[in-house]
Structure 1
Amino acid sequence: MKISLRVKLIVLIVLLIFIVAGLISGLVVRRINNVLLSEVQLRGEILARNLANDLAEPLMADDDLAPPSLAKEVLKSEGVLYCYVVDNENRLKAPTPKFLGEKFTPPEGLRVNTTGDLLVQEYESEGESIIDISVPVIFGGQKHLGYVYLGLSKKTILSVVQNVRYMIFTIASGGIFLGIMGAIGLAQFILNPIRKLVSGARAIGKGDFRYRVDVRTRDEMEELSRAFNEMAENLEKKELIEGAFRRYVSHQVADEILRAPGKYMESLKGLRREITIFFADIRGFTTFSERMAPEDVVTILNRYLTIMTDKVFQNAGTLDKFTGDGLMALFGAPLDDEYHAFKAVKCALDIKESLNKLYQSKIKEMEQSGFEYPRVGFGINSGIAVVGNIGYTSRLEYTAIGDPVNLANRLVDISEGGQVLVGEETYKLIRDYFDTIPMGRVKVKGKVKPVSVYQIVSLIRSPSQ
């Protein structure tokens, strides 16, 4: 029986399209599934760690009211199925007061975390796939107080993957129809763009998100290539944005950025924008550390920096860098913020308040040792600065440069422990909200003329009042 070349080519085209569609669907679905799973796990880890940080003091103080309240807030987050807080004796502290003191019995398929560290588990419960993220609650970086168990649903991931599979199936079906109608000439016409898509899928599978497919056929294959390129571009932007910002901003700000990565890509290239620059420095820490063991120095320094970083994030700031025994932060970047100056100054006062609580808890220790814990000085200034990724190609850092940055650094240099000093531009933006003391015109390094400096005393009101 004779079979025409036309039929053979049609059959071959159909088979090739099936194979290519399978490859693309496998690679794309796997990659998307992994990316979504990673994002869900990262979001859950951030929620769990933040809750663990918030629970440290209540659990240390044996406060039975705070844990249920904090767990209730976390349960409001999208996709969170449950939130358990367990102490060292495996007794429940949350989610609700009526369960307090009961022995924690994990759901079937979930193991109790005894590692003392982050543990991610996946299990099935009543037909639903669940990701469980458990983190330890640690007070002061040392004392283990219990665990937080956070359950996240995988329904969203499975739904997106199913939609992707359906989309790939639809496109493949259209390709088969065109292959049959086009016969010999159309077969070759289709094979070329498919090869390009296969190469692109493999490149994406290897992590090369800069790879783009160039197909100009004015048909479904070109539409598929555009969708593929848009996917690759979005993955590239998300990876770049996540690498640039995830470590330096709170999880709320990071989630906002990742919801629209293209909107913030330009900010990485360097933009002039009005921001407030924040410097904090532990005064006299070098002298203080000379009287202590190295491991105690590291513990105390980490305690200071943790308090300062938490307050920066709570006031919507961006952690720029740690400066030895201090830090630099930005307010008003990468997200625009009308009240960037207010939040920077309030951040300094919040840090002072938290450190004062630390000092009060260490009064007996200081009396016995004969020396006091060092205080923190602050330098804050506002103005137009260049903000973006700066540095060597493989070592870029999101930071700000310009005269306002230099002045803020000079202000922290002249600040005393417990002083919050602000420049003229910051003062103009916050004078209605804070009680201040004019320090007059002060000569600072790098400035020919003296500059006006103001000391922050206390908060009068917030902008919303």
Structure 2
Amino acid sequence: MLSLNKRFPKSLRAKILCMLFMGIVATVSVSFWVELKNTKERIHEEEKKNMQLLTSVLYSILEQTMVKGNVEDVSRALDLIATSPSIVRIEILDRDMRPRFGSEQNRQTDRVRLFTIPVRPRPACKDCHGDADPIGYIRIGFDTTGYERRFYKELTITLGTSLAVLLTLTILVYICLQKGIFSPLQKINVAMHYFGRGNFRYRITAKGEDELSRMARAFNEMARNIYKINFRLYKVSEFSNIINRCTSEEEVYRKTVEFLNRYFDIKGVAIVLNEPEERVVSSLGEIEGFLYIEPITLNKKEIGSIRLSASRDFTMEELSAIKIVASSLSMALERISHTTI
């Protein structure tokens, strides 16, 4: 078992092709065997019918000759019949199966099939043979070489047809697998290679609605989301530098709102200060029905909040990024307040 595992191909493509090829070979082999068996039975049945018919004809001829009781006529009839290319030898046996007459021309061949038929008595035969039934037998040896040649010829044709079918099916199956499975898998493999090296902008061309196409689209969606996350984290890391260049609180609020609206999938954002009464100091988009509120602190005291409206729940990565933005906003406000003092 271990030896078989070592010898079996490790490539998925090779494994699938090997299994399918073995299946095709088994199917074609079974079909070939069934066709071979049917051909052999058909030729054998035709051979049997032809020989039985010929035997009946020869029996009728010999019977008419034997009724006359002339031994020389019987011998000449046997020699004449034996000249047929399909007959190897012909004999007349007594009722104890001992040869009494035979053709002088006996051809030698390894392909002989014998037919023995009983000779029924006629009224004229009772003077010599009495009431015996049968009074003897006629044995005819037929040459089956022609039938065997025909069988091997049809065997060759069947074998050639089976090999052609095997080759055609193998090519068609390979083309279907190459187009439907191996090529999409290769594209996914290339995409995973780029993905592993940190290239999240590579996309797979996905056509169709099969499993591999859906897998490719899922991969594209995953790569797109990871790229957006990395890009957003990169921009969030730059956000502190952006607002550190701001010189007023109003500019800090405006830059924060613009940043959140640009790099987050939200419907609206607003910065609200508590003061004696809540006051919106900066906003973009829809500011009703807020989904998430992140507090803004100044000198460890909550002075307001960032309120975001979205059509879905935020991911953990987005929540972490929003907290970083709020923290950077708080530090920028503290810097400006110290500068003002």
- TM above 0.5, one fold? no
- Larger proportion of helix: 2
Report the TM-score, using the length of structure 1 for normalisation: 0.30
Give the greater-gyration-radius structure (CA).
2
TM-score w.r.t. the length of structure 2 is 0.40
